[in-house]
Structure 1
Amino acid sequence: MSNYEAFMLALIQGLTEFLPVSSSAHLILPSAVLGWADQGLAFDVAVHVGTLFAVIGYFRKEVVQMLNAFFGSIFKKDRSNDAKLAWMIVLATIPAGLFGLLAKATDVIDLYLRSPWVIAVTCIVFGALLWWVDRRATCQVGEYETTPKSALLIGLAQAAAIIPGTSRSGATMTAALYLGYTREAAARFSFLMSIPIIVLAGGLLGLDLLESSTPVMWQPILIGVLVSFVSAYLVIHWFLKLVTRVGMLPFVIYRILLGFGLVFFLSMHG
């Protein structure tokens, strides 16, 4: 992998990881259109680390408060809003964690669903679903009002996003909007619940990397961490400011155009 390829792939990952547009759909484009080789396990770990640092860095105050409250709820019976939110994020992580382990054990995603055609269809279908839900959203619930039922439903949406092209953030925000969350609260809860799932996904990739005999090229790895960190941090900041003003429509339009663009490209080169 060249440094240019590392820069572009890390930029794509950072820009799309937290937007409701599907990072997997974008990461197949360089290989499908430009013929770039697979980036490899080490680079996957690097961009996961970069995006993890970005979301933890942006929400560092909330993360520290929730961690203190979480352990306080165990040892000191803390019943604060931060403790409740921390437990709701843990609860919301369980479905995706279980689905992810099952998918890894059976290879069902790699064998049947990691297809450009699947990604094109899911881009369109889940983009249309996001539009439908956003139009009807009541926008009344904040992230601190999350109930166990809501956490599980949003967690199931996150688990469904294991299907490539669905978009983890898109699925979780769609579920949150359906449950009456404000757009900002839906985004914030989605971003916060990404932390444990990125840790889990990065950990699994890291274990695979330890078992791999492929040599690691450190320069592209460092580029991957830095570029994905900076771009993801800026996207989180920008999205939270924009989404309350314009809603989800621009991202819906982009998703549907991307999906049909993939269909056109695949039809021409099928």
Structure 2
Amino acid sequence: MKKYYWLISILTIFLVNCKEVPSDIVDSYIYLQKNGRDRMDWRIIWEDHFDNAKLDTTKWTRIPPNNADWGKHMTSNQQCYSISNGNLFLKGIINQDTLNDPRPFLTGGIYSKGKFAFQYGKIEIRAKLESAQGAWPAIWMLAEQKKYGAYPRNGEIDIMEHLNFDDIIYQTTHSYYTLELKQKETPPHHGTTKVDTSRFNTYGLEWYPDKLVFTLNDEETFIYPRVKGVDSSQWPYDQPFYVLIDQQLGGAWVGKVNPDNLPVQMIIDFVKVYQ
């Protein structure tokens, strides 16, 4: 009889755990939060603590250079990446080999594009920011599948951006609604909050079907709501997004880079995603 009780107990635990699976997984890497999950306790679905000596390439890709302000110095050069003591170091440096690469600066960044994306849930990134003139570290998200067409139709979620030696961070949404229709105040599309860059901080986002809740060290800092009765481009945040983390340098917003302040780096402790 005890044998049967044991089997029943195991079966019960199995069935309960099956019911608690928070995600439907598409194409083996896109996690769609199940309906009603936002009213339940968060469960971790994906994480990286950078405990290995090398970057986990099943989760991350080094961001290649591109023509955007933020991406013109991106590189896969090993000098811009290191992992030690459970931390990932993304660096902005002076390029010492302009014969092979004419760019004056090089920067490191990673993204989960094509390897992990999620729709709704919670993300936390614990990181320490260093400062320099022209430094622009960012933690942000872009649409994986481009449901509505070309950028900015699918939106952008900037969980954290820091400029130069500022004592604030920016937390922002961009979309066709904000950039092309210029609707930046109905509702306000960004907020700023004080930050102590001398320490590690946890930058976060809670993403619901009707709002984006930005956080700093588990404290709510800014909310971007879905608004009824406006152009539908106001809310492209109903599709899977992937994660980008990068130590950017230079650009129209942050200004010119002061080489005397380099190298500079962003130090990442962990990334956790919940649904």
TM-score w.r.t. the length of structure 1 is 0.27
Higher relative contact order, chain-length normalized (CA < 8 Å, sep 6+): 1
TM-score w.r.t. the length of structure 2 is 0.27
Q: Greater CA radius of gyration, 1 or 2?
A: 2
More helix by share: 1
